[in-house]
Structure formats: structure tokens, C-alpha cells
Structure 1
Amino acid sequence: MKYAVESEIQSDIYGTYEAFAGEQGQVSPPTVSIIMSVYNGEKFLANSIKSILAQSFPDFELWVANDGSQDDSLSVLKHFARIDARVRYVNQDNIGLTKSLNRMLRLISGKYIARLDADDLWFPEKLALQVSRMEQNAALGVLGTGAIYIDAAGMNTGVVKTITGERIVRRTLACYNPILHSSVIMRAKVVLVNGGYDDRYDCAQDYDLWLRMAHSWALDNLSQPLCARRITSGMISCTRLRRQRFLALRSKFAHRSWKFGGKCFWLYCLKDLLVVLLPEYFVARLKQLKQVRTAGSTSTS
């Protein structure tokens, strides 16, 4: 059954912060720094930011790179920066997602880093539950969450398959990326020690970072669906699937992920290689068939 996710999230987005700020009395580094980059994302940007401001955990800052947008994304950012001191932005020429995220990493001051794409959404308890888990487990470097899919209208269209358990997530990571970028929270010191995102990766930059971190830190997901991933025709996984799989394959071998992937590592390497080498129309057809099967299983569950 479909239902409107965005209207569910739009609650009192300011009262929590006002109460928190009144208790603090002075400015101190936030617990969480949220980073975002937007390029011509005016259509969904406001609702994405509202879902951040609606968090029950108020101790955060939001840094957004306006990456050369030609629409009214900058006006949206100016509006939220005026009404909430936690929202900050940088207006820049277009340099791409990866370099924009790395620029945000140089500006943050939080103990943890969270990521949200400019068209995705968070549910109100997301940061609270993730910070609690990270504080309880000092060995955990990366923590994602379960998620749902939404369409351009903000309607729920399905559930993202979520892998949980540190050992299982690590083994799965060697095969494919089981951690949704928009759901993630990371230890800032670990991200920075590992050099942040690799500027050479214009996509799959999150997967590359997870593989580097996995050699020294635990990774996991919360099972609860605390993020809404918007599926549109313009997203990278739809428009640049071949490039994404090529870079994923490159990262798997560059970071020796066969060491913790077992036999499935080679199977998924073969699948990535087929996507890279097969004619584009054939790969597109296979992806359509997979989406139809996924939609069918969701509607019958």
C-alpha cells in the first residue's frame, strides 16, 4: 500500500531546537555534522532540509554545498539559513558531488558525520537512534539504517532490503554496497584519517570509503526504516549504472576486499563485469525486469 511519506514527516520542525538552544546557553561543537550537496535540486531540497530539522536529536549542524545550481536552490538554502542557525551553506561553481562533499568535510566540527542526498528524507528518530548506538559501540565506524523507497510525489513504493549484523555487513560489503549513503552516520575522525572521499570517483564514492574503513572498523545497519530514498530517472544509479559498477569493481580489488568476502566476492565481481561489458540496452532491460519483480513482491507482501 502506498502512503504519503513527506506529509508524515512535516511536523513542528523548530520547537525541538529552540528548547535545546535555550538549555545550552553557549555555542559548542555539535555532536553531528550533516553534509549535503545540491545541484539543481530545488524541487525536493526544502523537504529534505525539513526532515533534518524535524529530528528529535537537535545537536547538529548542516553544511550544504550549492554546486553551481541554475535553479532556485540557493534561495531555498538562504531561507533555511535565516530561520535556523544550524543551517549553513557554501555557494560555489559546479565541481561535482565528491569534491563538494570533501569540501564540506573541511568545514565540519562534529564528532559524527551524517549524509543526506538533496532529494531523500529522514524520519524524526533517525539521528537519536544512531548516535545512541555509536556511543554504545566504540568499534563501530559506520552505521546505516533501513529505508523505504519513495517516488517523485513522496509516496511510499517499497522497502529497501537491509543487511544487519557487523560480520554479515562486512562480508556483504565485499560483494556489493549494503549501506545506503543517505542513511549513514560515521565517526568523523575515522573518515578524516582515511582521507575522506576519493576525488577520482564521480560515483560509488561511498562504497570506496566503506571498503577502506572496513579493514579497521566495524560497519552495520539499524534494521528500522529511518530513511526514505527517492527513486527518480535522474539519479546516478539509473543514468550511470555502467560507470558506477566499473568504479565499484575497481574499489573491490584496490582495497583487497576478497579478504573478507568469501566465494560470493567472485560471483559479484562477475556480475559487475557483465554490467560493464554487456550492451547498454541489454543491461537496461535486465534492470527493468528486476524493478518489476521487486514491485510485484512488495505489492503482495
Structure 2
Amino acid sequence: MNDLSDVTVLMPAFNSQAEVERTLASFGETSTVDVLIVDDGSTPPIAAPVIEGMRIDILRMPRNGGIERALEAGVAALAARGVRYAARIDAGDLATPGRLAKQRAYLDAHPRVAVLGMWTHVVSTSGAPLFDLTPPAEPAAIRRMMLARTCFTHPSLMLRVDAVIDAGNYRAQYRAAEDLDLILRLLQRHDGANLPEFGLFYELNESGISATKRRAQVISTLRLQLRHLRVSNPLDWIGVTKSIAHLVLPYRALRGLKARFLKSTSSA
């Protein structure tokens, strides 16, 4: 059996009881899985489902403060409990079998890596396939391309909790881009990598952050790109140009272009 005693699944949730239950039921591991749900002020409060092979705890925020503060509180709670690895997932997304064991084994074997993602199937809310995200796997390629494209799917990540705390934890300074902010700070002292296999079904939801807080997300991303810009790296400038385009073009048009591009590259 793969020991996951030092891993905890970290999932923020707001008014999404059914999605929480469906997401947690998707995990297929050969040992007990610990879960911390951060209930971000849900009404009614999120209830811990009973799922065989899972120990589920809930951290309740006093009021709805957004995913950034929920994740900050969740990581702080895991650090206080001495948890070594935090495995992210969001309500509505689905894990592939053995995801946690694979990520933990990789991090154990690669101590310089503090953030580890996996490739992702992007699906509609009905589960229909839309496109796949297959970002670079190796740390050097990720570091080179980090500002030009999305190199990590946030809900697929496994993070070293102590490294996240040392980097300053999640924070609300860059609204709706809290993952990029954290990752860029982690990469200043650590490596990032992706397992080149699929570990997540990511639900593209019209009510999700990427759609409802799109402008705030793009502005935060652009601020981060300019803050971390390496003037001699052409890929960084490509990333800045893309963010400016996102501010100008409609969300649906950009999503359609992205889906067609990814489908064409995956079938080539």
C-alpha cells in the first residue's frame, strides 16, 4: 500500500455540497486519504460526506472571503498539523485513480521540487470533453515558459507545505491569480514540475473564477508578469502581449480559439 499519511487534500468550497461529494468520491487510492475542506462561509454550511477510505475535516471561515483567504487559512491549518504535502482540488473537478500516490512518490524522489502538477482533461459541466492541457513537465522548461503560458492547472497541484509557508503562503494581493502569485514565489527558491500523465478532469464552469472574475484575473496576471519580467526572455514578452489581448477580446471568443488550438495541436 502507498502510505499517504503525510498528504492532505485541500479543497475550498462555497455553497457546493453536491460538487464536494462528487469530487471527493472520485479519488481512488490504496490507502486512507485525509481531506481538509475549507468552507468559505457557505449557507447552509458544507457537511462532511461519509466516504469509505477518507478522513474528512472541515475548517469553517467566519464569512465568505474568497478563495485566496480560504486557501491561506487552509495551508496555515495544515502547517500547524505538521502535514507535509497539500494536494489541491476544487469542488466539481475529478481526480484520476492513484493521483495522490504518484505525486507523493515524485516529490519524495525530487526534493528540489516544491510544486507538482499533472496534465488535465478539460470538460464541460456535463462531463463532455473539450480539450486537454499538457504543459511542459521539466523544471527548466517550466521556468523558461512560466510567464508565456499556463504551466500548471491549479487543482492538479501537490505542494510542499513548508515551502508554501516559507514563500509567504497564498495571499489576496493578486485577486483571482493567487495560484500564479504563489508559484512564482516558490520558483524563486525551488523547482516546479508536471507529471506527464493525466491526473485531473477540470470542469470548465461559466460561473467559475475564470469567467466571473476574468478581468480581475487578467489584470492580476499582467501585474505579476510585469513584476517578474525577464527582459531578455522573449517568452515573457509573449505572455504580456497575451494578457493585454485578454483584456481586449471577449472571454467566449478567446475560449473558443484556445479550444480549437489545443484540439489541433493534440491531434497533430
| Contiguous gaps of at least 5 residues in structure 1 | 1-15, 21-28
Residue 96 of structure 1 aligns with which residue? 66
CA distance in 2, matches of 1:289, 1:37: 28
| Contiguous gaps of at least 5 residues in structure 2 | none
Cα separation, partners in 2 of 1:296 and 1:194, compared to 1, 3 Å: closer
Pair 1:246-2:219 in alignment: yes
Cα separation, partners in 2 of 1:292 and 1:45, compared to 1, 3 Å: same
Is contact 2:124–2:205 with CA below 8 Å preserved after alignment? Answer: yes
Normalised by the size of structure 2, how large is the TM-score?
A: 0.88
Deviation of residue 295 (structure 1)? Answer: 7.4
Deviation of residue 299 (structure 1)? Answer: 9.5
Cα separation, partners in 2 of 1:257 and 1:127, compared to 1, 3 Å: farther
CA distance in 2, matches of 1:285, 1:134: 37
Pair 1:290-2:231 in alignment: no
Is contact 1:55–1:123 with CA below 8 Å preserved after alignment? Answer: no
Among residues 202, 223, 227, which one is paired with 2:200 in the alignment? 227
Between structure 1 and structure 2, the one with the greater Rg is 1
Is contact 1:211–1:252 with CA below 8 Å preserved after alignment? Answer: no
Normalised by the size of structure 1, how large is the TM-score?
A: 0.79
Matches within 5 A, 1:187-226: 187-226=160-199
CA distance in 1, matches of 2:220, 2:143: 19
Range 291-300 or range 129-138, more displaced: 291-300
CA distance in 1, matches of 2:181, 2:251: 24
Q: Count the aligned residue pairs.
A: 264
Deviation of residue 94 (structure 1)? Answer: 1.0
| Larger helix proportion of the pair | 1
CA distance in 1, matches of 2:97, 2:54: 19
Question: Identity of paired residues, percent?
Answer: 22
Query: For residue 229 of structure 1, what is the amino acid of its counterpart?
Result: Y
Query: For residue 185 of structure 1, what is the amino acid of its counterpart?
Result: M
CA distance in 2, matches of 1:200, 1:241: 16
CA distance in 2, matches of 1:288, 1:175: 17
CA distance in 2, matches of 1:65, 1:186: 17
Among residues 144, 148, 152, which one is paired with 2:117 in the alignment? 144
Pair 1:270-2:257 in alignment: no
Pair 1:55-2:26 in alignment: no
Paired residue secondary structure (1:199): coil
Cα separation, partners in 2 of 1:296 and 1:262, compared to 1, 3 Å: closer
